[in-house]
Structure formats: C-alpha cells, structure tokens
Structure 1
C-alpha cells in the first residue's frame, strides 16, 4: 500500500472512531415525533427510553421498534435517573421538565414533526447529526427526496375531502395532513369554510357541503361520544379513508400515504 494512502486510511479510521466516541450513547426521547425519528435512525441500543406514546399504534408508526425499549412519561426525575447524555424533546414538551433537566446539566434538543413533505429530508438529517448517524440519515433523506421528486403532478379534476376526526376535529392549511392531501390532488374542505391549522367542523357543515371523501382517524377500544361522531348517520354514505400514524410527524413512510391517496383520487375518475 502506498504510504500516502495508508496515512489517509489511518486518518479516516481515527476520525470515524472519534466521531463514534462523540456520539451520544444514552438517548432518551420524550415526544412521540422524537421517538419515531430516533428509533428510525439510532444505532442498536443507543435509545435507552422512549415516551409511553411510542407504543400507541394510533400515534406511532414505530411500535414494533419501541416494544422492547423502556418507556417514560416525560418527568424530569425519571429521565435524570436514566443518566442520558442526550434528551430529545419538542417545543410542546413540559417546559418545567425540560428546564429542570437543562439545569441539571442534561443536554436537551427540541425535535418537532414537520408541516410540509419537503421538510422531511431536512428533519432526518437534523436528527441524524444529533445522534452521530449522519451517513444513515443522509441515505434515508436522499431516498425520500427521490420519492418526493417522483410524485406525479395531479391532473384533471380535484375531488374535495374533509378531515373529520374524533369530536369533529379537522385540519387545514399549515398542517402536514393538509400538505399530504393537496399533494395527492385533493382540495381540502377546510380551505373553503375558512379553517386553518386545527379546528372543529360541525356535522352540519359536512352535510351542507357534501365532500367527496372523509378522512377519519382510528378509534381506541371501547366507545366515546367524540369518536362516535365520526360515524354519524348523516354522513354515513360519504366515502372515507382512515388516516394512520404516518400522517402525524413526517417520516419516509409518510410518502406511502401520499401515494395511496393518489391512487384513490385516480379512482374518482372511473
């Protein structure tokens, strides 16, 4: 081996070893989006605790990966006892718990989901860098960018859809769900009735505006009046599809939801 090449190889090994040593070894997540990004990108054993929501199939798409990982409820005391060298929280995490951890010298980074499909690759790279898993994140981000670029531009008529989750909760412009829907070639009824972000739409509004499709959420075992509203007899005949956990945070699998909706929209022309 040439001397220059041997020196370069040794330097690369030293650099990679230093990078590995600098990577956090005990990562705790306390937010369901942070859970999913970390479980997706982390090295085996790197994540030592996830939030209790990580195993909720209605909110998390990484339940299998989270099944054997200890869970926490976001309390500062329980997280501190885990001796983490990195905690992934969000802007919605309990500010008292986050502040206490930071005062105790624990590094806390706030990781949220995304509101636009185009932001998914950047979030993957951000979390990958925090975990010292840049190469894994870059590969995943590049593949996500390729899939985004390959999504067909909607052509023809745009059916109108409405989000109608438990209690009549709907989603409008400024949310990832809205971006998924409109990227797939649907119009969002929330735009027409003046709803942005999250808010409630009465059943009467759906009856008067007759959307072509309802997008409902999953329901927990048992029954509740809020969830029963999604099955109101006045809207029983409206076609519907149930959203899944991949709609919530912005993951590579979120593009599966877009592609499924594209296929569904094309069926409206049959």
Structure 2
C-alpha cells in the first residue's frame, strides 16, 4: 500500500472527530455507491455523469432490471483506495458498511449516508424519497414512487379469480415468511404465501418432505447471476422437486426481492402472470 494512503488510513482510524457530520451538497456531482441496492436506485435517479462509481455487483442485476443503465459507469469494490482516488462528494452505503469505510469517508471529507434496506412497499417509498432528497432529485423519486403505486393499485383493483398457494423454496429448507419484501410481493400478486401464515416468523424451515406434504400450487425460486453455483441451488433442482413440481416452478429475479426498489411492483405483476400459467387443481402427487 502506498505510504500516503497508509497514512490516510492510520490517520482516519486514530482521529477523534470521525463522527463529525460533513455537509452534503444540494446536488452531489460525484456520487459513490458501495452497496448493490443503492447502486440500482442511484442509476434510476441521476444521470450517469454524476455517478463516480457503483459496486462490481451492480452489472448483473442491472441487466435484469434495466439493461444498459450502467454503461460507462466506473465500478468499485468498496476499498479505501477507491474512496481516495474517486474523491466522491457523497458516499451511499448500507448499515453494514465497514468501520474503516466510515472513518476514511470522514477523514477525506466525503459525507457518507447509510441507506436502510426495505422489507415492505412502505419502506420502498421512504428509502426512494430519502435517496431522491440526498442526490438532489426529489421529483424523480416521487415519479418512481407514483409509478409503483399506480401498478400496485391496478393489481389490487383486479384480483385473480383464484388465490393460489405458493412458497419460496430454494433447496436449503429456509422459507421466506411474513415481514419480508418477498411476502409483500407475493400478496400484491394476489397469492397466498404458505410461510407468511407461520406465527411471527420472517424465516422458517421446511424439509423436502414437509414441502411435498404442504402441496403448494407452485414453488418460487430466486435467480441470481452474481452468486456462484451452490449446494443450495443443487438441492433446489433435486430430481424429486423437478418431477413433483413440473410446470409449477417459478423463477424470479432475486435482485427485485432482495433490494427495495420501485420495480418491486413489476415483480408482483410478473409473479401474477407466472402463477396464472400454473396448472389448475392440486399438485399431482
């Protein structure tokens, strides 16, 4: 590591005033995002020439949600060197950002704002408006929220003729229950999330045998390009699951469920369309 950068890091870690608040420009022109979810929302809110960088994870999610939106935008890996080199006038981070990142931001005079994750459509409205205010684009943020609400209202006004029972099952036995964005998306789609009926549990577990016994009309499985192949995915593609749920497995873009984005309403619309194609009647086993 270069001596100057090492000095900056040591100085940042030893400063007593690292908690000092730094003024945020009314319209930041060099915005650095260090979290995939803020990457995506940032790309929706501001033109690319005002973005210093987004994370290396952004591209695959962008290609699913808004292809080409990150073209020409630099990437970062959330390192101290990149903060120094890119000299951002606003850093967007998650509540889990490393202490060194926060300390270095304070040392270099770059304001760092932690953006909460979203577990509901109400959270999406709040986070989108917060980001819009931070980057100087409140009107754009309101437009995104209004479009999301229009789509949700349309879904609510035209419920499906039949409420289908579904469950998110990835192969590792973990279920996504109430209090999650995925549960809200399933409900907005007009379906019944089996795990959402469990008592006060965001996440529960289900073995393959319990899954078959529950006889959901369909199982949902997140699809992510940025995660490497895993044993969990192999279990989710077990021969028994393929056979029992033939025509009843629905994949969805994981980023739309993991990140609180206005496009979560699109995820609900897509899910309703996919569920409508599931064969009627109980699963044939």
Aligning the two structures, in what range does the TM-score lie when normalised by the shorter sequence? 0.7 to 0.9
5+ residue gaps, structure 2: 1-24, 281-285
- Cα deviation for residue 118 of structure 1 reads 3.3
Per-residue CA deviations over 1:21-56 (Å, capped at 9, x if unaligned) read 731110000001100110110133111100111013
Provide the residue aligned with 2:8 in structure 1: none
Provide the residue aligned with 1:30 in structure 2: 34
User: Size of the alignment, in residue pairs?
Assistant: 250
Provide the residue aligned with 2:250 in structure 1: 241
Equivalent residue in structure 1 for 2:263, among 253, 259, 268: 253
Per-residue CA deviations over 1:198-255 (Å, capped at 9, x if unaligned) read 4543222212212111111226598532211111122222211111022221323221
Length-normalised TM-score, structure 1: 0.81
Moved more, 137-146 or 80-89: 137-146
- Cα deviation for residue 62 of structure 1 reads 4.5
- Cα deviation for residue 268 of structure 1 reads 5.7
Distance 1:47 1:166 in 2: 38
- Cα deviation for residue 67 of structure 1 reads 3.7
Residue 71 in 1 paired to residue 81 in 2? no
Equivalent residue in structure 2 for 1:227, among 223, 227, 233: 233
Distance 1:109 1:126 in 2: 10
Secondary structure, in 3 states, of the residue corresponding to 1:243? strand
Length-normalised TM-score, structure 2: 0.77
Residue 97 in 1 paired to residue 106 in 2? no
Residue 39 in 1 paired to residue 43 in 2? yes
Secondary structure, in 3 states, of the residue corresponding to 1:216? strand
Distance 1:170 1:59 in 2: 27
Residue 106 in 1 paired to residue 100 in 2? no
Distance 1:60 1:95 in 2: 32
Equivalent residue in structure 2 for 1:177, among 174, 182, 197: 182
User: Are the counterparts in 1 of residues 177 and 198 from structure 2 also a CA contact under 8 Å?
Assistant: no
Closer, same or farther in 2 for the Cα pair 1:71/1:60, shift >3 Å? Answer: farther
Moved more, 166-175 or 191-200: 191-200
Residue 145 in 1 paired to residue 149 in 2? yes
Distance 1:193 1:268 in 2: 24
Equivalent residue in structure 2 for 1:84, among 88, 91, 94: 88
Closer, same or farther in 2 for the Cα pair 1:143/1:61, shift >3 Å? Answer: closer
Secondary structure, in 3 states, of the residue corresponding to 2:83? helix
Distance 2:224 2:156 in 1: 32
Q: Within 5 Å, give how 1:114-153 maps onto structure 2.
A: 114-152=118-156
State the superposition RMSD in angstroms.
Answer: 2.7
Residue 167 in 1 paired to residue 172 in 2? yes
Distance 1:115 1:223 in 2: 26
User: Are the counterparts in 1 of residues 178 and 197 from structure 2 also a CA contact under 8 Å?
Assistant: no
